Structure 1
Amino acid sequence: MNLSLNLSDVLFLDIETVPEIENWNQLSKETQQLFSKKTQYQRKDDISAEDFYNRAGIWAEFGKIICISVGYFVTIKDKKQLRITSFFGDDERKILTDFKILLDKHFVKKSNVLCAHNGKEFDFPFIARRMIIHQIDLPKKLNLIGKKPWEVPHIDTLELWKFGDYKHYTSLKLLTSILGIPSPKDDIDGSEVAMVYYEEKNLERIVNYCEKDTIAVAQILLRFNNQELLEEKDIVRV
């Protein structure tokens, strides 16, 4: 497929999220009730809201962001290089503020776009909702009010792979596998992030996982354009 865009205009990203509060018993009764109501359609009849709470990180109302990894292309001596950086830690407001500064300083051109796998359903709205919760003004690339669909500055590799088939879902792991891209899921997967964060307290492991996902998204876009994949030497963490 020909996406007709300059790869240097694209900011690739991935986020990792966990329940905002570690344990169900730490929630107020009201929050427990709200979570129960919010998840009643996702839970099976024999699964209680408490047992389902380990998945709370997928909802912006009950989760928080602990890492945003971003990547962008630069050209060095006619060779593409992907530069990767991450915003992470226990202070979600700082993570979001630092990410906003990056967007406001370096990705404000009309041609700039954000790219993620399933980003339109998860990453982009999750970031925007958490910014509103923290009373952070939305950067232009996340403020979609009044924009027509073709004006939204977002690329979603899952949506591109659907080719208009709205019933079709393909995970990042499956897509990288069939496209011959090194798997980003060689250590942990999304279902284990909360455990690694709260029990292992190993944020470095989560950041590494998030960065691998970001690299994978960039590689997918290269393959969609029939371009050569990056080698390890072409990836620089800054």
Structure 2
Amino acid sequence: MQDLRQKAKNILFIDIETVSGKASLDLFDERMQEQWERKAINIRNDDHVSAFDLFYRRAAIYSEFGKIICIGVGALYWTSSDDNPRFKVKSIAGDDERAILLEFKELVEKYPQNQLALCAHNGKEFDFPYLCRRMLINKIKLPESLQISGKKPWEILHQDTLDMWRFGDYKSFAQLDLLAALFGIPSSKSDISGEDVTRVYYAEKDLARIRRYCKEDVVVLAQLWLCLNQYDTIKPELIVRAE
């Protein structure tokens, strides 16, 4: 257990929820609308919908056309009462993306930046670059823990559970929910899935529901990390979900 304490020290498990930057394409200025139409030509479109309709369906995954509305953050910790690891998760959410990013930056900078490891599922290809790009767009200086430019590979402490599962097989992709099913980890998808987030945010205006979903994804992420490192998962009664 001491080994786990050392391994989990200074790891923050994160998950971001993103939506299209506007409720519909026509709310962007003309220049950005033109840019989306160019982008849409190269996006898979099996239903052959218009660029306008494709925006609502797919813009959330592109940092140039989407925005972050929720960041889930969790960490393993121990108490003095026993050796059982515990897990605490919270979410930072709202309509003001810049405020969300500033609060997240403030949180991560409480950790020693040369030791902090951010962990996400597919984080190296989605969460981490998305966070960096949206911070730059919002004119926020990147925290050192998100900086990769000019660093040697061993100086970048990011962890990615998808990377861990690939074992070097980079053509392989496995969703978090699939790996949760394989390892018997309770799913976070009982309420909504990532594809529903834009609709739940703009049409249903239910940010609280998205916050709950995001926190559960972080719980699943941490449990998967434990499984991939061959540790027991956290007991449900030892998971704390903060408001």
TM-score, normalised to structure 1, is 0.94
Change (3 A) 1:108 1:173: same
1:31 & 1:51 partners in 2: Cα distance? Answer: 15
Task: Answer yes or no: is the 8 Å Cα contact 2:113–2:145 preserved in 1.
Answer: no
Q: Structure 1 residue 39: deviation in Å?
A: 3.0
Partner of 1:99: 104
Partner of 1:118: 122
C-alpha distance in structure 1 between counterparts of 2:166 and 2:104, whole Å: 29
In the comparison of the two structures, how many residue pairs are matched?
236
Of 76, 85, 88 in structure 1, the residue corresponding to residue 90 of structure 2 is 85
CA distance in 1, matches of 2:112, 2:129: 18
1:20 is matched with which residue?
21
Per-residue deviation, residues 46-76 of structure 1 (Å, max 9, x unmatched): 3321121021111111111000010011111
Preserved contact between residue 181 and residue 216 of structure 1 (Cα < 8 Å)? yes
- Distance in 1 (alpha carbons) for counterparts of 2:128 and 2:116: 15
Deviations 1:107-152 (A, max 9, x none): 2243320000000111011111111011111000111110122221
What is the CA-CA distance between 1:27 and the residue it aligns to?
Answer: 2.1
For the residues of structure 1 that align with 2:45 and 2:67, how far apart are their CA atoms? Answer: 25
Is it true that 1:61 corresponds to 2:71 in the alignment?
Answer: no
- Aligned counterpart, 1:43: 44
Instruction: Describe the shift of the 1:231–1:3 C-alpha distance in structure 2 as closer, same or farther (beyond 3 A).
Output: closer
Per the alignment, residue 222 of structure 1 pairs with: 226
Letter paired with 1:223: C
- Change in Cα spacing, 1:3 to 1:160, as seen in structure 2 (3 Å) is farther
Check the 8 A contact 1:108/1:140 in 2, yes or no. Answer: no
How far apart, CA to CA, are the structure 1 residues paired with 2:164 and 2:154? 14
Distance in 2 (CA, whole Å) between partners of 1:65 and 1:224 is 28
Q: Residue 160 of structure 1 corresponds to which residue in structure 2?
A: 164
Q: Distance in 2 between matches of 1:72 and 1:222?
A: 12
Structure 1 stretches (4+) deviating beyond 6 angstroms?
none
Matches of 1:109 and 1:63 in 2, distance apart? 28
TM-score (norm 2): 0.92
**Structure 1: gaps (5+ residues):** none
Q: Secondary structure at the match of 1:51?
A: helix
1:236 maps to amino acid: V
Structure 2 residue 154 is the aligned partner of structure 1 residue 150: yes
* Residue 38 (structure 1) shift: 2.0
Letter of the 1:102 counterpart: L
Aligned to 1:193: 197
- RMSD (CA atoms): 1.7
Per the alignment, in what secondary structure is the counterpart of residue 233 of structure 1? helix
Q: Structure 2 counterpart of 1:58, which letter?
A: I
Partner SS for 2:188: coil
Identity percentage over the alignment? Answer: 45
Cα distance, 1:88 vs structure 2? 0.3
Instruction: Tell me how far apart the structure 2 counterparts of residues 109 and 195 of structure 1 sit (CA, whole Å).
Output: 36
Secondary structure at 1:119 match in 2 = coil
- Residue of structure 2 aligned with 1:207, choices 211, 215, 220: 211
What's the secondary structure of 2:173's corresponding residue? coil
- CA separation in 2, counterparts of 1:29 and 1:82? 46
